[in-house]
Amino acid sequence: MSEVRALGRHRQTPRGRTRPADRRSIALTLVLALLAAVLVVLPATKAEAATVLLQESFGGTSVPDPAWQALDSACITRATAAPPTGASNLGVCANREQAPRADFATGFLQLTDTRNNAKGGAVFNRPIPATGGLDVQFDQYQYQALLGLQGADGIGFFLSDGSRSLTAAGAPGGSLGYGQSTAVPGVNGGYLGIGLDVYGNFSFDDGGLGAGCPTNAAAGARVQNRIVARGPGQGTANYCYIARSNAISLRPTLNLANTGTPGTDVGRTIRVTVSPDAKPVVTVYYGSSAGLPASSLTQVMQFTMATNAPPTFKLGFTASTGGSSDTHLIRNVSVSSINNLDDITLVKQIDRTTTQPATYSEGSVIPYQFVVTNGSVNGTLSGVAVSDPKVPTVTCPTTTLAPLATVTCTGTHTVTAAEAVAGNLVNTATASATKTTPGQATVGVTSKTATVTAPITTPAPAISLAKTGALADTNANTLADAGETITYSFAARNTGNVTLQNVAVSDPKVAGITPLSTTLAPQTTATFTSAPYTVTQADINTGASFTNTATVSGRTLAATPTTVSASSTANTPIRYAPAISLVKNGALTAGSTVGSTIAYTFTATNSGNVPLTGVAITDPKVTVVYGAWPGATGELGIGQSVSASATYTLTQADVDAGSVVNTATVTGKPPTGANVTATATRTTTLTRANDLAFTKTANPAFISTAGTVITYTFRATNTGNTTLTSVGITDPKTGLSALAFTWPGTAGRLTPGQVVTATATYTTTAADVTAGSIANTATATATPPTGAVITRTASVTVAAIPDPQVDSATVVQGGSVVIDVLANDGAAATGATFSRAQLSATPKVIGGAASPAPAAPIMGSVTCVDSGATRGQCTYRPIAAYVGTDVFDYALSGTYGTWNVRVTVTVTALNKAPVARPDRAVATAGGASVTVSPLANDTDEDAGTTLTLSSVGSVGSGTFGCAGATCTYTPGAATGSFPIAYTVSDGALTASSTITVFVDPAPLTRRGFTGTDTTGGSIGLGTWTRSSVVATPVASCTANRPSTLVSWAAAPGATGWTLERRLAGATPGAWTVVATPAAAATSFTDDRLGEGRSYQWRVRPDLQRWLGVASAASTAVAQPAVTTARGC
């Protein structure tokens, strides 16, 4: 069955789970050397010389010996009443589940019944001598009436150190009342535990059992039905696994009524022998039923203890149940020595029923137990006494001992000084008595000596000294002054563990120390005194507490004494008070401006109680000039002073601060210790004026079109007397570029008079032009050294002035037109200078105008009004025959800029009537047809005009008809001249002329002239040329218009002239008709010219039906330059 381990329950590994391997630290530095299954086999039968030390059957209604003490549920099964006075406290059983009844003839020590989680035990709390070894035999019963159930936990038998009190068992459960658990310590002074382990946990280092033991594989698991041995332990340490038997039957399988008495077959006989060796050999025997003699037992385990046995033993039996259970019974306990004891036996040991130190020192009280045993089986001892030279008084509860009885006597010894320095204490005692044996003479008996060695603490002589001084403080300043006295007291204490003699104190600064010497026991104190000490000025001048060191010494009582010493220092605070003071004054000599001065004065005074050297005044702002020193330079006696002066010049930083805070420091060196210093601060207030000027300008100051870039310039000036920081300029204008600053020094900082400039650009928009102006305000801020932030604003407005507009006009060929060129220029023209001459080297060009000088017309002339109500009205006159486009420019210069503006004039054609000239043809009567082209010599001044025959008249003889521009005449028989009328048309206007046909009779010779051109010839009317020569033209300025006189030579036969002109140059312009003078004309004044331009002229004669050959071009003549809007 699976059970929970708990206090008072056996330990069991839950079914189906594997317990992890134990991990333990090896706490012991000495691993127990265990010897199991030693080949030495003690005899199964008890030696004849053995002495019975204890016998108890537990078969009565009580246990007479009070040394037996009940633990927990332990009881006597036959007890029916409380134990009698003076007997053991083992009494009536409160629970008897599957346990013997009280009325049964056979009695038992019942440790537990079969209740779960029960525990019980009985211990024999009286020392049993171990000098003759021990032979312990008893019957044990572990059973329960129900078949097939797991029993638990088992019975523990143990031996403990007889010098210790045995009033409690160890941990219940798997520890079987001997070993420890995590919560419960093991048996006090445990030496040997024998576990009759049914459940198997006594082998298993678990739940705290075996803590501190070296790892042992045999103790790593639960093993049932074994006899298991564990070794010495104390508290919660050790109780280590030693050995275990092979599997044996510790409990029977039976069906026993709850009221039944178990028979011997239910029990088992157990015998444990402990040899009298220092490290005893332990042998365990087993018998398969109760009540067997030693000779019938089987040895199941033997081993040698690894540690010495104590001089005496105490013993006990314990049992417990858990989730599983058994009834646990003990009876027939017999304890004998292995070797026979003398008639009187004495065992001496240190009494450890109270906690004892590991070692004893001088003055320690060692408690001793003297265990006296009557080893006779029939003699009585009387007058029992113990003799111990170091224990003058040994007290025994009784001086009479019945046969085999034992008494424990007690006594104490105080460690002496001599014993303490000897290093150990060996104490030997003997016991004596008178033996009375029936039928025999009374004899005196004396025991063998019994010796105990008490561990003595290693002698450690030591001494300490505590020195104190009491100041007679006459001036109540708690410090020592010269002339005051100090009374010293010296407390010498023996801090060692041995007595010191010749203890004496020495002090180099005082006299009369008493006593001269003394003897001191350990941890005792002696006080020494001396004459008072008078404090000197030299003591004060040391600069530290008055220090006085004394020494104490003493030596031990040993044959070779050891001398120890110690020293102690008393420190009395002295009034060592070096000090210095400084007074500083200052006066401003002028206003609060840079360069003004402050006159400082200083007074340094030694205000302490010691002279000072190296006195110096330092001031980080000035150079100090000293006055006369009262003594040596740099030295001041107590109370002495020195004066000094200095001058300081104000800086800008001072003005910014609004005051000059100046701290001077004076330093002096005392006779010892750190320098003393003092400071003095003087604050001189200055008047501050914080101010900032701010302007903003724009370039250009006006704009005319969108896309113009305006450059804004900002200028902030520190006009105050303090330094301004965090200087900044902001402009909220949307579209403004980031400001580009030019700082005179550190960005954001302006000293008085400094200026920061910044620029930013803005590109105008159509909305700006429409609005008519761009108003913009910027803000400058600055932080003065004190007071509110300074804020200044500056605004600028840029006017939106549109550019002048181009002009255009149309004029009929040969006519003139007046153009008001300023009418559409708006504000740009208002107040501006108006001219056709150059006004700027870099004018703004409007409409493709020329630059920098405005252009004059090419195909005509222009004059403009420059003042008055008609200012800006320009009259343009094209040359007579020109049709097309001509341009000229004018200039404006005013507040908003300078422009050259283009004016375009379109000259449209004047539809002039065509000129129809007579034609003639010659034919032979009856002969072949002839043709004639009437339009060949007809002309039209309108360029590009095509003439057509609109009508043709009839002829008087023959036939005449036209096809297109060609007419055919077929002569008839008549002769003579026959005129034919015809009309030409340019599509709008017409002209009429005649075609004359001369019909000659055949075969008469033809007369007249033909239409064949020749370069010259003579006719009946005279000689003529078909060209002429143009003289050099003469240019002038008439009525503000260029005018050029063109002359040529007459040409005989000419019926009119055609005058043409072109623009001169490397690539001359096209020839254009200027005028058609009459036949008699030999000159013409051309006044439709552009100023400053160069022209050439040529003429053609009109030779009746034909135009003559044009003359050579004239010399190029430049026209007068334009000077005003009116012209040249």
The pLDDT-based confidence of 630 (bands split at 50, 70, 90) is: very high
pLDDT digits (tens, 9 = 90+) for 48-90: 447 888 999 999 999 999 999 998 889 999 999 999 999 999 9
pLDDT value of residue 96: 87
C-beta of residue 320 within 8 angstroms of C-beta of residue 9: yes
Yes or no: say if 756 and 727 are a contact pair by the CB < 8 Å rule.
yes
**484 and 566 fall within a common domain:** yes
Domain boundary among the residues 631, 658, 685 is at 685
Question: 1003: pLDDT confidence band, cut at 50, 70 and 90?
Answer: low
Same domain for 734 and 633?
A: no
Q: What pLDDT score was predicted for residue 490?
A: 95
Between 102 and 632, the higher pLDDT residue: 632
Residues 185 and 304 placed together within one structural domain of the fold: yes
Is residue 1015 scored above 50 in pLDDT?
no
Confidence at residue 147, expressed as pLDDT on a 0 to 100 scale: 61
Query: Within this chain, do residues 739 and 839 fall inside the same structural domain, yes or no?
Result: no
Are 65 and 190 in the same domain?
Answer: yes
121 within a domain of the structure (yes/no): yes
Average pLDDT on 1025-1039 reads 84
Name the residue range of residue 543's domain: 463-572
Instruction: Name the residue among 701, 775, 788, 790 with its Cα closest to residue 732.
Output: 775
Closest CA to 491 of 523, 461, 459: 523
Residue 39 has pLDDT above 70, yes or no: no
1029 domain residue, yes or no: no
In this predicted structure, the answer to whether residue 43 has a pLDDT above a threshold of 60 is no
Count up the domains in the chain and report the number: 8
199 close to 222: Cβ distance less than 8 angstroms: yes
Mean pLDDT for the stretch of residues 130-139? 94
Q: Are residues 94 and 191 in the same domain?
A: yes
What is the CATH number for 558?
2.60.40
User: Mean pLDDT, to the nearest integer, of 223-238?
Assistant: 93
Report whether pLDDT(1014) > 60. no
pLDDT of the residue at 902:
97
Last residue of a domain, one of 685, 717, 735: 685
Cβ atoms of residues 63 and 87 within 8 Å = yes
pLDDT of residue 29: 27
Mean pLDDT for 394-398 is 95
Report the C-alpha gap between 402 and 384 in whole angstroms.
11
Q: Judge if 487 and 404 occupy the same domain.
A: no
Q: What pLDDT is attached to residue 256?
A: 56
Tell whether 225 and 92 lie within a shared domain. Answer: yes
Of 821, 887, 880, the C-alpha closest to 858 is 887
Q: For 822-868, what is each residue's pLDDT tens digit?
A: 999 888 888 889 999 999 999 999 999 999 999 999 999 999 999 99
- The pLDDT of residue 42: 40
Check residue 260 and give its pLDDT.
63
Is 379 within the bounds of a domain?
yes
Band (513; pLDDT cuts 50, 70, 90): very high
- Whether 522 and 494 have beta carbons less than 8 Å apart is answered as yes
Residue 278 lies inside a defined structural domain of this protein: yes
Q: Are residues 612 and 748 in the same domain?
A: no
pLDDT over 50 (residue 41): no
CATH number, residue 317 = 2.60.120.200
**Residues 521-576: tens digit of each pLDDT:** 999 999 999 999 999 878 888 888 888 899 999 988 777 788 888 898 888 898 88
Between 377 and 742, the higher pLDDT residue:
742
Question: pLDDT tens across 747-789, in order?
Answer: 999 999 999 999 999 999 989 888 888 999 999 999 999 999 9
**What confidence tens digit (pLDDT) does each residue in 936-958 have?**
888 887 767 888 998 898 898 89
Would you state the pLDDT for residue 87?
Answer: 94
Tell the burial category of 820 from Cβ atoms under 10 Å away from its Cβ (0-12, 13-18, 19+): middle
Average pLDDT estimate for 1040-1064: 90
Residue 898 lies in a domain: yes
Give the domain CATH number at 1061.
2.60.40.10
Tell me how far apart the alpha carbons of residues 609 and 611 are, in angstroms, rounded to a whole number. Answer: 7
Predicted pLDDT at 542: 85
Comparing 325 with 711, the larger pLDDT belongs to: 711
Q: Is residue 1 part of a domain?
A: no
Query: Span 1-13, mean pLDDT?
Result: 29
pTM above 0.75, yes or no: no
Q: What is the pLDDT of residue 715?
A: 98
Assigned domain for 24 exists: no
264 falls within a domain:
yes
Residue partners of 12: CB distance under 8 A and separation at least 6? 2, 3, 5, 152, 199, 201, 222, 322, 323, 324
* 286 and 192 co-located in one domain: yes
- Which candidate, 520, 558, 524, places its Cα nearest to that of 421? 558
**Of 662, 685, 708, which residue is a domain's last?**
685
- How many whole angstroms separate alpha carbon 958 and alpha carbon 968? 11
* pLDDT, greater one: 1098 or 1023: 1098
More confident residue, 1011 or 964: 964
Same domain for 702 and 792, yes or no, is yes
Residues 130 and 192: their CA atoms lie apart, in Å, by: 13
Q: Does the pLDDT of residue 796 top 90, yes or no? A: yes
Are 227 and 303 members of one domain? yes
Q: What is the mean pLDDT of residues 166-172?
A: 87
Q: What is the mean pLDDT of the chain?
A: 87
* Residue 1098 identity (one-letter amino acid): R
pLDDT at residue 1013, rounded to an integer: 43
pLDDT of res. 558: 73
Does the structure show a pLDDT above 70 at 220? yes
Q: What percent of the chain is modeled with pLDDT above 90? A: 60
Residue 519 CA, chain-centre distance (Å), reads 68
Give the least confident one: 184-193, 430-439, 610-619, 765-774.
Answer: 765-774
Predicted pLDDT of residue 424: 79
